[in-house]
Chain A
């Protein structure tokens, strides 16, 4: 299908983009990689009158280290995250997560910012961002503000970004010593989005006990969430197979599981537990446990 008619703008600065956004308000949509927005426009599920393309805005893409954080520009593509030597050495799990998104065409176009701002319930990054404790930097007319990941995902395809704001950067802390993280997903057989995806990050103390576990679940519900029950189940424990199994059994708690062709509530809840177990097992292994 062809999208409905729209006007196209290619601002050359964040300021200009913000002005356009302020001017056209609800009638405008920011365009990043276009791999969520354009399909919706082609099906005419979205019919923005103005597209504000961020691709010509300098400074919005690239990955750099800033203290104990990796600062990832919103317009950085999935492929850049997947292939970045910096990400691979400092936060391999993020590179692995990016590598599981769609196919090479999608990864070469789609952006981190687009994915996080779009907040598709089956997107991959959200689980990893929750597990890693990321922060989102938004810029508006009044300047920048930072939103913690736990305050970011508000509901089905809604986030904390204001209508007059642009997500400019995603900041992800690198893992402390004796930590490991993993993201594993059960892909949709057609789209490869996550039917269920679980990211787990664990830190072990000197005695091999879990001092911190952080777990994000995506796919099953209307938005990605933190699996607090799993985290609590891990804290202070020696994470052997039995402990992991017990903790993972809480993975579907708090998830508003949605039934569809890919799975009933029962099956998807089960997958949450299976993938929580697998992600935790891998994370613990990587943490040296």
Chain B
């Protein structure tokens, strides 16, 4: 029977309830699911960046022991292209479209040509994983290699090799936002200081710890297909696969995303392999499994970023920002991944206002195709790119104007507000106190003291620098009506179902999906608090379309604010119903019943109360029950927020550059974040810490590099692609300010991406500052490897 909890859990750093399972190796990941009669898939992939397929000979592979079947794209008749779920077309009235999105086909197995290294052309199904791989090596593809283009700035140049008939000049779309005329005028203001810089945001690979995997089982007897898949949003996977690609009945398909070891965005999308395994399972009437090798992950998981931007800022004599002009080329890779067009447009251009009062902004984006892995949302998705442009060009502006980079920022902050701040780039901010987070960060840093130390260090020839980043992030993107008008093929609400069992134990079904975020803890804290029951009596279920109501999943830092609110709404309904049952038991009117501390009580009469557990039992054994009330205690809600939430904060990074090698060492890293109210501070700290590491990784070492000639991915293994390591990072100095959002009842914003957004420009700005005595005022490209920094030092006019 339910007992009553004492402490309020909202705001408490309770340990993650899921961790014992993960750290003792008892998680259930897709690859752990074993079913009898399983077959294994291995994909035959293009070794070329671009090549026509003349012929595929599978005879030798079919003879390999253990091989069951081999399919090519030609065999998959009746199967459609993988859909792109974000449609930028004028006819759809999507704002800002200058040139319609080219909806190029993306077949699960390509049969005309391969358009990037790793593009799958055939699948070998065998009785063992080994036989499948050996079989795949024996498939003979007669390739006709074609010229390839991988470099972002060259993809749409004249004479570049064409990828798709439907995309002349390799242009995927052209889009703009802001006011061109007002921005042009701002740049003509008398006495304005204007600075233009080329800013490159390099391509990244997500590198989730668990590689992508799937297992499809078609049950011939019931006609049901079950797909276990590493997904951040199982319902979205199911919908896209059923309605768009395979044309199979949605109610006969169950998608399960069990424990998933990280996603960072890369597991949002519908991929070729999942579709192929599902199709093959229906065809062979046998279960089919596939688990990516790390090398396959590098070649096929959607990549992130890859922008080349010309950014210009105009500053008045007083240091006030007058205007911002941004021109970006975004490399989308060879095909349109599920949400690819949204990332460099509505998730990017709309954030260019930053935390500053900027009177005029204009941004143009050209999306281009190239012979590279498709690019889509990666932790932050568009917002890190926007923050990077703003925070780099603001610093460049300050340097050009001869102003202190911290003073200039402070002068331009949007003043504290709550409710609505209309930006120049469509979105309306919810609440903000940018100066407060900034001041706290400067105080922790002791900025003036640092500058004095820096001065002394410079006299000794040491290259010490500080970099800042005052960021804004947009999360829990909504409402559905708005995102629909912007081109989204999906809604952006969330579902939450609360099932109270007769004994008062509670199971919560959430459409959010945890793949590292800690929902089983955070959501349970909300439930335990609200119902006044111990957290042990709450179970959180996610990731199974067979049990949860239709949900949109986890990305864009939306789980707490959207998923959590949906649960809260259902909890409120449960309590309302409970009040009616309690009122009946207590012979009072429902409006006279209070619910707190797990007790339904007649207002002002402490003795007249029934505990939550008694009410739940009565709901299921309704012998003595109010008239007109249905038995049972279970409620479902769908929450569609009225607006985005906008977390913000101020980060600073202190670096020292080794003059001899160019190596950058981070000495201090400070972060003051404002993510609204915080449910579990420890989990938020973890999010911030990991995010900063990823942001530092982009600044200093990560980067997907393609060979310009062959189009091969040079950084295709963990021995080549440099992820940040613990010893590169100092102990972080962190704090928070709290500016609740008025958008949702809990006042929570979102914490999943802040670190990634903020850290990259802070680190790069710090290196620029360190090199400033040598005459360096800008660094165009990342990662700032030792070699790159050394070359900059060599080329600097003030170098020894």
Which A residues have a C-beta under 8 Å from some C-beta of B? 1-2, 4-5, 39, 43-44, 186, 188-191, 261-264, 267, 270-271, 274
Q: Name the residue on B nearest A44 (C-beta).
A: B137
Let me know if B94 is at the binding interface, CB within 8 A. Answer: no
Let me know if B140 is at the binding interface, CB within 8 A. Answer: no
A-B contact list, 20 entries, CB within 8 Å? A2-B130, A5-B130, A5-B134, A43-B717, A44-B137, A186-B661, A186-B786, A188-B722, A189-B700, A189-B701, A189-B722, A190-B701, A190-B719, A190-B720, A190-B721, A190-B722, A191-B719, A261-B705, A261-B720, A262-B787
Let me know if B714 is at the binding interface, CB within 8 A. Answer: yes
Let me know if B55 is at the binding interface, CB within 8 A. Answer: no
CB distance from B461 to the nearest CB of A (A): 14
CB distance from B436 to the nearest CB of A (A): 37
A1:B293 contact, CB within 8 angstroms: yes
Q: Which residues of A contact B786 (CB under 8 A)?
A: 186
Q: Which residues of A contact B661 (CB under 8 A)?
A: 186, 271, 274
Q: Give complex CA distance A264, B722 in Å.
A: 18
Q: Give complex CA distance A45, B705 in Å.
A: 21
CB distance from A41 to the nearest CB of B (A): 13
Q: Which residues of A contact B137 (CB under 8 A)?
A: 44
Let me know if B133 is at the binding interface, CB within 8 A. Answer: yes
CB distance from B40 to the nearest CB of A (A): 11
Given contacts A189-B701, A264-B787, 7 further A-B contacts (CB under 8 A): A188-B719, A191-B720, A261-B714, A261-B720, A267-B787, A267-B791, A274-B660
Q: Name the residue on A nearest B786 (C-beta).
A: A186
Known contacts A190-B719, A262-B785; A1 and B295 CB within 8 A of each other: yes
Let me know if B718 is at the binding interface, CB within 8 A. Answer: yes
Q: Give complex CA distance A89, B717 in Å.
A: 38
Q: Give complex CA distance A44, B663 in Å.
A: 34
Known contacts A5-B134, A274-B660; A263 and B787 CB within 8 A of each other: yes
Q: Which residues of A contact B718 (CB under 8 A)?
A: 190
Q: Give complex CA distance A264, B786 in Å.
A: 12
CB distance from B293 to the nearest CB of A (A): 5
Q: Give complex CA distance A43, B720 in Å.
A: 14
Q: Which residues of A contact B111 (CB under 8 A)?
A: none
- The total number of A-B Cβ pairs within 8 Å is 46
CB distance from B581 to the nearest CB of A (A): 58
Contact with A190, one of B130, B660, B723 (Cβ below 8 angstroms): B723
Q: Which residues of A contact B705 (CB under 8 A)?
A: 261
Let me know if B235 is at the binding interface, CB within 8 A. Answer: no
Q: Which residues of B contact A189 (CB under 8 A)?
A: 700-701, 722, 785
Q: Name the residue on B nearest A190 (C-beta).
A: B722
CB distance from B401 to the nearest CB of A (A): 34
Contact with A2, one of B133, B717, B720 (Cβ below 8 angstroms): B133
A261:B130 contact, CB within 8 angstroms: no
Q: Name the residue on B nearest A268 (C-beta).
A: B787
Let me know if B790 is at the binding interface, CB within 8 A. Answer: yes
CB distance from A275 to the nearest CB of B (A): 9
CB distance from B67 to the nearest CB of A (A): 14
A267:B790 contact, CB within 8 angstroms: yes
CB distance from B102 to the nearest CB of A (A): 33
The size class of the interface chain B forms with chain A is 20 to 34
Interface residues of B in 781-796 (CB under 8 A from A): 785-787, 790-791
Let me know if B715 is at the binding interface, CB within 8 A. Answer: yes
Q: Name the residue on B nearest A260 (C-beta).
A: B714
Let me know if B519 is at the binding interface, CB within 8 A. Answer: no
Q: Which residues of A contact B785 (CB under 8 A)?
A: 189, 262
Interface residues of B in 700-730 (CB under 8 A from A): 700-701, 705, 714-715, 717-723
A43:B295 contact, CB within 8 angstroms: yes
Q: Name the residue on B nearest A193 (C-beta).
A: B719
Q: Which residues of B contact A191 (CB under 8 A)?
A: 719-720
Q: Give complex CA distance A270, B793 in Å.
A: 13
Q: Give complex CA distance A264, B661 in Å.
A: 13
CB distance from A105 to the nearest CB of B (A): 13
Chain B binding surface SS class: loop
Let me know if B48 is at the binding interface, CB within 8 A. Answer: no
Tell which of A261, A271, A274 has the most Cβ of chain B within 10 Å. Answer: A261
Q: Name the residue on A nearest B697 (C-beta).
A: A189
CB distance from B646 to the nearest CB of A (A): 34
A270:B790 contact, CB within 8 angstroms: yes
Let me know if B129 is at the binding interface, CB within 8 A. Answer: yes
Interface residues of B in 125-154 (CB under 8 A from A): 129-130, 133-134, 137
Complex A-B, nearest 7 residue pairs according to Cβ-Cβ distance, in ascending order: A189-B722, A190-B722, A191-B719, A189-B701, A274-B660, A1-B293, A267-B787
Q: Give complex CA distance A264, B787 in Å.
A: 8
Q: Which residues of A contact B714 (CB under 8 A)?
A: 261
CB distance from A119 to the nearest CB of B (A): 17
Q: Give complex CA distance A43, B298 in Å.
A: 14
Interface string of B712-750 (1 = CB under 8 A from A): 001101111111000000000000000000000000000
Q: Which residues of B contact A186 (CB under 8 A)?
A: 661, 663, 786
Q: Name the residue on B nearest A1 (C-beta).
A: B293
Tell which of B700, B705, B790 has the most Cβ of chain A within 10 Å. Answer: B790
Known contacts A2-B133, A190-B722; A261 and B295 CB within 8 A of each other: no
Tell which of B663, B715, B718, B722 has the most Cβ of chain A within 10 Å. Answer: B722
Q: Give complex CA distance A2, B128 in Å.
A: 11
A2:B129 contact, CB within 8 angstroms: yes
Q: Which residues of A contact B133 (CB under 8 A)?
A: 1-2
Q: Which residues of B contact A43 (CB under 8 A)?
A: 295, 717
Q: Give complex CA distance A43, B663 in Å.
A: 31
Q: Which residues of A contact B722 (CB under 8 A)?
A: 188-190
Q: Give complex CA distance A203, B293 in Å.
A: 51
Q: Name the residue on A nearest B293 (C-beta).
A: A1
Interface residues of B in 766-800 (CB under 8 A from A): 785-787, 790-791
CB distance from B444 to the nearest CB of A (A): 29
Q: Give complex CA distance A90, B409 in Å.
A: 58
Q: Give complex CA distance A216, B134 in Å.
A: 43
Q: Give complex CA distance A5, B133 in Å.
A: 11
Q: Give complex CA distance A2, B134 in Å.
A: 9
Q: Name the residue on A nearest B719 (C-beta).
A: A191
CB distance from A50 to the nearest CB of B (A): 17
Q: Which residues of B contact A271 (CB under 8 A)?
A: 661
CB distance from B11 to the nearest CB of A (A): 38
Q: Which residues of B contact A2 (CB under 8 A)?
A: 129-130, 133
Q: Give complex CA distance A4, B661 in Å.
A: 41
Q: Which residues of A contact B293 (CB under 8 A)?
A: 1
Q: Give complex CA distance A39, B718 in Å.
A: 11
CB distance from B313 to the nearest CB of A (A): 32
Q: Which residues of B contact A261 (CB under 8 A)?
A: 705, 714-715, 720
Q: Which residues of B contact A262 (CB under 8 A)?
A: 785, 787
Tell which of B663, B705, B717, B719 has the most Cβ of chain A within 10 Å. Answer: B719
Q: Name the residue on B nearest A263 (C-beta).
A: B787
Q: Which residues of B contact A264 (CB under 8 A)?
A: 787
Q: Which residues of A contact B701 (CB under 8 A)?
A: 189-190
Tell which of B660, B715, B717 has the most Cβ of chain A within 10 Å. Answer: B660
CB distance from A248 to the nearest CB of B (A): 11
Interface string of B261-273 (1 = CB under 8 A from A): 0000000000000
Interface residues of B in 622-680 (CB under 8 A from A): 660-661, 663
Q: Give complex CA distance A267, B719 in Å.
A: 20
Q: Name the residue on B nearest A267 (C-beta).
A: B787
Q: Name the residue on B nearest A262 (C-beta).
A: B787
Q: Which residues of B contact A270 (CB under 8 A)?
A: 790
Q: Which residues of B contact A267 (CB under 8 A)?
A: 787, 790-791
Q: Which residues of B contact A1 (CB under 8 A)?
A: 133, 293, 295
CB distance from B727 to the nearest CB of A (A): 10
Q: Which residues of B contact A44 (CB under 8 A)?
A: 137
Q: Name the residue on B nearest A196 (C-beta).
A: B661
CB distance from A252 to the nearest CB of B (A): 14
Q: Name the residue on A nearest B721 (C-beta).
A: A190
Q: Name the residue on B nearest A3 (C-beta).
A: B130
CB distance from B574 to the nearest CB of A (A): 49
Q: Give complex CA distance A60, B134 in Å.
A: 35
Q: Give complex CA distance A2, B700 in Å.
A: 32
